Amino acid sequence: MGYGNWLSVKAWGDFACFTRPEFGAERVSYEVMTPSAARGILEAIFWKPEFTWQVREIWVLKPIRRFSILRNEITTWQSERSAQGWSKEGVGGFFAEDDRAQRHTLCLRDVAYVIWADINLKPHATDPVAKYRDQFRRRVAQGQCHHQPYLGTREFTAYFSEPDGTEQPIDLSDELGLMLQDVGFVEDAAGAIHYLTHDGQGSRIVKGNAQPKFFRARLEHGVLRIPG
C-alpha cells in the first residue's frame, strides 16, 4: 500500500474548528484537521453504502494560526423524543431566546490541507474498488458534492479541488495528544441509540452503541499519519 493506491483531495477555508472532546462547554480546536473531519469532507464529496473511507494522512499546507470568537449557543440538549412529545400532546416547546448563552471558541484561521485516503469495500459490495476510485476522482475534478463540505463545524465552509502537485506540508513537528480518530457503531439489542446501517439486505434502523476511538497524534514535518 502506498500513495499510488490512495486518493487525494485538497481542502481549504477561511476558518476551522476541530473541537477537542475534553473541552465540553468552551470549544477549543485541535491544531490540525482530525481524521473524522477529513472523513466528513470525503463523504460530502462521494459516498456509497458499499464502502467506507479510511483516512491515511493529512498534510498541513499553511502555518497554524488561531483566533477566538464568541458565539450564541443554547445551554441545554434538545432531543427528537421531546419534540415528538410536544407535538403529540400539543403542549410544551422550546424557545432558543430563553436558553441562549455566549460561548467562547478558539478556532483556526486560513487553513489548507491535502487529505490522503483509501476506500475499503464492505462484504456486500459487488463492483470493483477501481470503479469507486474513478467516480471520486471525477467528482473532485468537476467540483461535485452531495452537500457543501465543512471544516469541523457547518459555519466554516470547506472548498476543495484536485491537488496540483505543488503542495508541500509545512515544516512543523509537534505532539498533539490524544485525538479522536473516528466513532464506530456496534449493533446491540440493548444499546443506547438507534442508527442507520447498510448491508446486503439494504438500509435499516438498528439499535446499538457508539464507540469513540482515539490515537496518539503527532505532526511530523507537517504530516499527520493515521494508524490503520
Q: Look up residue 122 and give its three cell numbers.
A: 464492505
If you average pLDDT over every residue of the chain, what do you get? Answer: 91
Confidence of residue 128 (pLDDT cuts 50, 70, 90): very high
- Scan for cell 473541552, then name that residue: 23
Confidence of residue 77 (pLDDT cuts 50, 70, 90): confident
- Counting beta carbons within 10 angstroms of the beta carbon of residue 76, is it exposed (0 to 12), middle (13 to 18) or buried (19 or more)? exposed
Across the range 219-225, mean pLDDT stands at: 97
Report whether pLDDT(83) > 50: yes
Q: Look up residue 74 and give its three cell numbers.
A: 443554547
* pTM assigned to the model: 0.87
User: Alpha-carbon torsion 225, 7, 127, 49, what sign?
Assistant: positive
The beta-strand segments (E) located in 35-169 are 51-60, 66-74, 100-121, 150-151, 153-157, 159-161
Q: What is the pLDDT of residue 1?
A: 47
Q: Are 102 and 50 in contact (CB under 8 A)?
A: no
Q: What is the pLDDT of residue 2?
A: 54
Report whether pLDDT(111) > 90: yes
